[in-house]
């Protein structure tokens, strides 16, 4: 192995199977047995006709069948995890003089919630990649056509003459100027302090007179604001990406494309070379369509207040998908093979030659080039074409990235998930509860729409991708319908506890063991998994809280909106998550205080569930202490535990309702609306 490394021989990347997969399969089998026993109990103990609780019992049976089915789907994500590592020194030794052109696409749409300074720092970070500048082109799509963003990019192009040599000279990481200079610690002990200070003055003083001291060329930098007209649908980010595909083909025509969101700056200057290790591997590289890096964030609190880190997705789920043929495309931090993104199908005879010859355009013809590029970005160019259908990103879904990745894989390509120790990209996670819930509402709505379309993975993907990958996709596509059984479980057991009607086996029954085992094993496994991923115990608890909040609000609204869209009542909309918050909200977020300051209908549902379970638990405890005694525990223990767990999870809601006086408290109108809904729930007859 050492000789291979010295000589540059061997593959450019290595794949390793995850550890403890045997233990997980044994554990999964045991849990599945417990789930089946729960089903058997429900089926054999249905209350007789006329007996109270019969329909509630049947409803719980349906919910538990769904939970078991969905749990089986999720096991595909843990069945065969794959981990990748790259050998960049081999890439350099074999292909340094043959490295392909790389085009980087950065998309922004609103300068108010995506400030130009943030966008430009992302642009500068990707311009400063450790890669030959003459083979790197960066394209900024500004769908707002903001003059502020345009002039900020113009200034950045001048500043890059100094910033890029500085990064090369001192091997700066990360290469976003704002992030790098915000790291004020240890500056005085840094040998490059003097030049750091000079660069800081350069930014603050706006002196852009410096030239590239190393005499190196700069990456090509292109600004695009595509044409829009009211009578033509511009197809949101997917439309911008497709316009960039066409425009870049005229200017640089890089065979490898990286697309990043405007808030996801490069945190690792070698990410391009990592991606090329997969594309240029002589044995396996030809079948790889895209290399997906994880989404990571630099503003997550210590205990991950809103579960914004997406650790389960990035550190568990995507490795599991990689074992079945590759992860889904998540719209940012992804390196694409241009051919696959433009609709080419993979075949065994395909020869992967990453060559993208730059169009030969004389300097005197730059205006001709500009006119041709403008034509490719007009709103009428795609009329009666295959763009958005068989070419480029697909239209018609809020999650255009997911459906595009699925389509690429169904054309015979594979994808790869690469999660390096030094994160490739860092962005801004939602810093309010409302932002978090709205973001997950858009994701789950888009995913469910795909499942209900002709692109359902079990239909469109049948015979094209593995069954395991079909199951992996479906775990996300079923987020929205997950809301109904969760909502049922969060409401019905509490209402029947209030009326003293048992819906679960008694403590003295052997059937109690199956329920206790499934719930206990799942909780313990969840805690261990979270701690192994680097969560704190409080972080794990926050994960459980947001798990419940999302499933009873975001996913429910996504489900309703999906059916309204199918009925033609509403149309799809692309919602951009705000990247800036005011100072007070930011301070509360840093102190890990949940934000409830808006009158969102989602908060009405959260508050209703919280108040309902608190009151039902109080009545249940009162009945146990003052009326029926501890005997009630034998028949109602599981309902008391479920109700108590929901109450504990909702502790921040009660605090926002009754104890807080800041602007992040729960609005009064939300509290009254929830109280009214709770009153209605109590009036429903128990049948």
Query: 596 and 620 in one domain?
Result: yes
Q: Is residue 115 one of the residues assigned to a domain?
A: yes
pLDDT of residue 211: 42
Check: CB of residue 122 under 8 Å from CB of residue 152. Answer: no
**Mean pLDDT of the residues in the chain:** 90
- With a CB cutoff of 8 Å and minimum separation 6, the contacts of 83 are 15, 16, 17, 18, 319, 419
Segment 537-556 shows an average pLDDT of 97
Segment 281-307 shows an average pLDDT of 95
- With a CB cutoff of 8 Å and minimum separation 6, the contacts of 566 are 452
Segment 322-346 shows an average pLDDT of 96
3-state secondary structure 512-552: HHHHHHHHHHHHHHHHHHHHHCCCCHHHHHHHHHHHHHHHH
pLDDT at 2 over 70: no
Q: Which of residues 429, 464, 498 is at a domain's end?
A: 429
Query: 500 and 373 in one domain?
Result: no
Q: What is the CATH number of the domain that holds 113?
A: 3.90.550.10
Q: Is residue 339 one of the residues assigned to a domain?
A: yes
pLDDT of residue 530: 94
Segment 203-214 shows an average pLDDT of 44
Reduced to 3 states, what is the DSSP secondary structure of residue 619? helix
Question: Which residue, among 119, 361, 123, has the nearest Cα to 251 in the 3D structure?
Answer: 361
Check: CB of residue 291 under 8 Å from CB of residue 416. Answer: yes
Question: pLDDT tens digit string along 509-524?
Answer: 999 999 999 999 999 9
Query: 117 and 49 in one domain?
Result: no
Query: What is the extent of the structural domain holding 410?
Result: 88-295+330-429
pLDDT of residue 217: 83
Q: Is residue 11 one of the residues assigned to a domain?
A: no
pLDDT at 209 over 50: no
* Helix H or strand E segment including 54: helix 54-79
Segment 72-98 shows an average pLDDT of 95
Query: 256 and 390 in one domain?
Result: yes
Query: 181 and 266 in one domain?
Result: yes
Q: Is residue 287 one of the residues assigned to a domain?
A: yes
End-to-end CA distance of the chain: 70
Distance CA 602, CA 353 (A): 51
Distance CA 143, CA 243 (A): 11
| CB contact burial 438-449 (16+ within 10 A = b; e otherwise) | bbbbbbbbbbbb
- With a CB cutoff of 8 Å and minimum separation 6, the contacts of 651 are none
Query: 105 and 70 in one domain?
Result: no
Tell me which of 662 and 368 has the higher pLDDT: 662
Question: pLDDT tens digit string along 397-456?
Answer: 999 999 999 999 999 999 999 999 999 999 999 999 999 999 999 999 999 999 999 999
Measured CA to CA in angstroms, residue 33 lies from 45, 471, 506 at distances of 18, 20, 20
Q: Which of residues 429, 445, 469 is at a domain's end?
A: 429
Segment 628-648 shows an average pLDDT of 88
Residue 361 DSSP code: -
Segment 621-625 shows an average pLDDT of 82
Segment 641-660 shows an average pLDDT of 96
> Reading across the β-sheet that carries 265-266, which strands appear in turn?
265-266, 425-427, 296-297
Query: 653 and 574 in one domain?
Result: yes
Question: pLDDT tens digit string along 490-514?
Answer: 999 999 999 889 999 999 999 999 9
Place of tokens 């800036």: 580
pLDDT at 226 over 90: yes
pLDDT of residue 429: 93
Residues designated catalytic: 143, 401
Lowest average pLDDT, out of 151-165, 314-328, 341-355, 429-443, goes to: 341-355
Q: How many domains does the chain have?
A: 2
Query: 670 and 531 in one domain?
Result: yes
Q: Is residue 301 one of the residues assigned to a domain?
A: no
Query: 609 and 506 in one domain?
Result: yes
Segment 149-171 shows an average pLDDT of 92
pLDDT interval class at 362 (50, 70, 90): very low
Query: 130 and 65 in one domain?
Result: no
CA angle at 294 for the pair 241 and 429, rounded to the nearest 5°: 85
Helices 54-79 & 21-44 angle (0-180, nearest 10): 170
pLDDT interval class at 174 (50, 70, 90): very high
**pTM of the entire predicted model:** 0.92
pLDDT of residue 425: 97
Distance CA 446, CA 574 (A): 10
Q: Is residue 1 one of the residues assigned to a domain?
A: no
Q: Is residue 61 one of the residues assigned to a domain?
A: yes
Query: 141 and 69 in one domain?
Result: no
Segment 16-25 shows an average pLDDT of 89
Query: 289 and 149 in one domain?
Result: yes
Tokens of 594: 């949940």
Q: Is residue 12 one of the residues assigned to a domain?
A: no
pLDDT of residue 571: 72
Segment 374-392 shows an average pLDDT of 93
């Amino acid at each position: 192995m050492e000789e291979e490394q010295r000589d540059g021989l061997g593959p450019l990347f290595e794949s390793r199977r995850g550890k403890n997969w045997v233990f997980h399969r044994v554990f999964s089998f045991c849990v599945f047995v417990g789930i089946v026993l729960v089903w058997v109990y429900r089926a054999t103990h249905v209350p007789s006709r006329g007996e109270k609780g019969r329909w509630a019992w049947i409803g719980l049976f349906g919910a538990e069948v769904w939970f078991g089915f969905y749990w089986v789907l999720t096991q595909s994500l843990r069945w065969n995890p794959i981990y990748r590592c790259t050998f960049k020194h081999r890439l350099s030794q074999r292909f340094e003089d043959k490295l392909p052109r790389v085009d980087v696409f950065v998309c922004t749409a609103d300068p108010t919630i995506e400030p130009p300074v943030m966008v430009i720092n992302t642009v500068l970070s990707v311009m400063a990649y450790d890669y030959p500048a003459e083979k790197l082109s960066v394209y900024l799509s500004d769908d707002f056509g903001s003059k502020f963003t345009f002039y900020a990019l113009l200034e950045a192009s001048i500043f890059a003459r100094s910033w890029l040599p500085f990064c090369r000279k001192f091997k700066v990481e990360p290469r976003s100027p704002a992030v790098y200079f915000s790291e004020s610690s240890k500056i005085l002990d840094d040998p490059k302090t003097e030049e750091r200070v000079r660069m800081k003055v350069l930014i603050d003083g706006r002196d852009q007179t410096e030239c590239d001291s190393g005499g190196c060329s700069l990456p090509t930098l292109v600004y695009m604001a595509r044409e829009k007209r009211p009578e033509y649908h511009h197809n949101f980010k997917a439309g911008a990406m497709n316009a960039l595909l066409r425009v870049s083909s005229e200017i640089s025509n890089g065979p490898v494309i990286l697309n990043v969101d405007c808030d996801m700056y490069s945190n690792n200057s070698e990410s391009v070379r990592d991606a090329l290790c997969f594309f240029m591997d002589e044995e396996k590289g030809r079948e790889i369509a895209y290399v997906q890096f994880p989404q990571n964030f630099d503003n997550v609190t210590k205990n991950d207040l809103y579960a914004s880190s997406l650790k389960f997705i990035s550190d568990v789920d995507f490795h599991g998908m990689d074992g079945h043929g590759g992860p889904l495309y998540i719209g940012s931090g992804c390196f694409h093979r241009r051919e696959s993104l433009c609709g080419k199908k993979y075949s065994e005879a395909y020869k992967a030659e990453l060559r993208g010859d730059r169009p030969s355009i004389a300097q005197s013809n730059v205006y001709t080039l500009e006119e041709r590029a403008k034509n490719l970005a007009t709103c009428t160019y795609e009329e009666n074409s295959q763009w958005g259908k068989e070419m480029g990103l697909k239209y018609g879904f809020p999650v255009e990235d997911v459906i595009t990745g699925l389509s690429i894989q169904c054309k015979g390509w594979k994808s790869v998930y690469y999660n390096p120790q030094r994160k490739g990209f860092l962005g801004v996670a939602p810093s309010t509860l409302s932002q978090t819930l709205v973001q997950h509402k858009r994701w789950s709505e888009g995913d469910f729409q795909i499942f209900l379309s002709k692109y359902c993975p079990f239909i469109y993907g049948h015979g094209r991708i593995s069954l395991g990958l079909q199951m992996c996709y479906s775990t996300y596509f079923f987020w929205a319908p997950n809301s109904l059984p969760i909502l049922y479980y969060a409401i019905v057991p509490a209402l029947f506890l209030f009326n003293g009607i048992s819906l679960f086996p008694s403590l003295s029954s052997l059937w109690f063991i199956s329920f206790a085992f499934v719930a206990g094993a799942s909780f313990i496994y969840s805690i261990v998994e979270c701690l192994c991923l680097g969560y704190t115990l409080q972080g794990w608890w926050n994960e459980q809280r947001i798990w419940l909040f999302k499933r009873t609000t975001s996913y429910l609204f996504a489900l309703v909106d999906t059916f309204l869209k199918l009925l033609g009542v509403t149309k799809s909309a692309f919602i951009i998550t705000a990247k800036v918050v005011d100072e007070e909200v930011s301070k509360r977020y840093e102190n890990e205080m949940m934000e409830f300051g808006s009158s969102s209908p989602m908060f009405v549902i959260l508050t209703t569930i919280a108040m309902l379970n608190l009151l039902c638990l109080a009545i249940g405890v009162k009945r146990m202490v003052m009326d029926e005694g501890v005997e009630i525990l034998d028949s109602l223990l599981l309902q008391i535990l479920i109700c108590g767990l929901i109450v504990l999870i909702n502790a921040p809601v009660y605090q926002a309702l009754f104890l807080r006086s800041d602007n992040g408290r729960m609005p009064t109108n939300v509290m009254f609306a929830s109280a009214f809904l709770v009153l209605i729930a109590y009036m429903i007859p128990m049948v």
